[in-house]
Structure 1
Amino acid sequence: MASRGDSDEAYVVGLCNRVLGEEALTQHRFDWLLGDPGAGGRQVRLPVDAY
């Protein structure tokens, strides 16, 4: 199994980092970006690919 560092996501984020000349925060979670409530009503913060 490939690691996250070998993924298409990491490749594209790496390209963007080089083009923009900045390093993205990866798998960042915002307090306001929540998933659907589970059976118990709990919502988890969702990660974004890059920020």
Structure 2
Amino acid sequence: MFPVGGHTNRALLTDLYELTMAAGYFESGVYRKEATFELFVRRMPPHRGYL
């Protein structure tokens, strides 16, 4: 997916859905409330003990 050892700009990996949801949460004040999120990964990347 990304070149090994190469410089990669990951700024564009955020999609429009994520930006739209963030803007909606901010405008409605939801960002002030406590939230719970779920994360799923198939396997841990090499040499990583946490995400």
| Category of TM-score, reference length = shorter chain | 0.3 to 0.5
So what's the TM-score if we normalise by structure 1?
Answer: 0.34
Higher RCO (C-alpha 8 Å, min separation 6): 1
So what's the TM-score if we normalise by structure 2?
Answer: 0.34
Between Structure 1 and Structure 2, which shows a larger proportion of helix residues? Answer: 2
Q: Decide which structure has the larger Cα Rg and report it.
A: 2
